[in-house]
Structure 1
Amino acid sequence: MKEIPKISEAEFEVMKVIWKNEPISTPEVVEIVSKKVDWKPNTIQTMLSRLVKKKALKTRKHGRVFVYTSLIEEHEYVGQKSELFLKQFFGGALNSMVLNFIENDQLSKEDISELRKILSERDRKEGEK
């Protein structure tokens, strides 16, 4: 598995904007993030710099602004974080996590129905192989 840098929750907010809009300039990132979170432009620029240093982003100068693109894909990052969460809290067992949600009434009837639908679709695809 590819080495993915550690990204703070705040940096993750910036990454989500970049993943959705890349390539994207500093002013554009600042504008979008500022609408979601009450951060000053300097704070957002600091996070961009940190993400470049962590090799989560690459930057190039375009005229008078910097333009950012990601070096890691969102699905890679989310996959790694999900796996770490499962290992930390449920010993890596997805069924234990789902059972925990069911036993604590944290899944609605709609959630359970959606899970059944996903599993049925997965079974159908597996049967076609």
Structure 2
Amino acid sequence: MKKLPQISEAEYEVMKVIWEAAPVSTNEVTDKLVQSTDWSPKTIQTLLKRLVQKGAVSYRKESRVFVYTPLVKQTEYLEHENSHFLQRFYNGNFASMLTSYLDNDSFTEKELDELRELLKQREGGSR
């Protein structure tokens, strides 16, 4: 697996917009994030520049607008982050993580039903 860039929480919020709408202009990213955060347009532009420097996104200039495209797939990034989280906090032991969540009542009954259904599907060999 290729080495993925480290992305901060704020940069991740920008990445979510890019993953959802790519290719996406600076203005579109800014409009979306100004609605959901208290960030200024300048802050958002700085985060976009950081993501370019880290190799997480590329851009092209169209007329007077920059258009961004992700270089990292969302699924790939999330798999990496989940694996890192599991290793860091639970020594790679998924059962320990799940037990911790269950012990702290972190799941709703609906989520438990969904988890049961996923486990049934895995047992049956379907994915």
Same fold by TM-score greater than 0.5: yes
Q: Which residue does 1:15 correspond to in 2? A: 15
Q: How many residues are aligned here?
A: 127
Structure 1 stretches of at least 4 aligned residues deviating more than 4 Å after TM superposition: none
Query: What pairs up with 1:1-129 in 2 under 5 angstroms?
Result: 1-124=1-124, 126=125
CA RMSD, aligned part only? 1.3
Return the letter of the residue paired with 2:108. S
Instruction: Tell me the percent identity.
Output: 45
Q: Per-residue CA shift, 1:78-123, capped at 9, x if unaligned? A: 1111111101111111111111111222222222211110011122
Q: Per-residue CA shift, 1:46-90, capped at 9, x if unaligned? A: 000000000000000011100000000011111111111101111
Cα distance in 1 for residues equivalent to 2:106 and 2:70: 34
Unaligned runs of 5+ in 2: none
Unaligned runs of 5+ in 1: none
Cα distance in 1 for residues equivalent to 2:82 and 2:95: 14
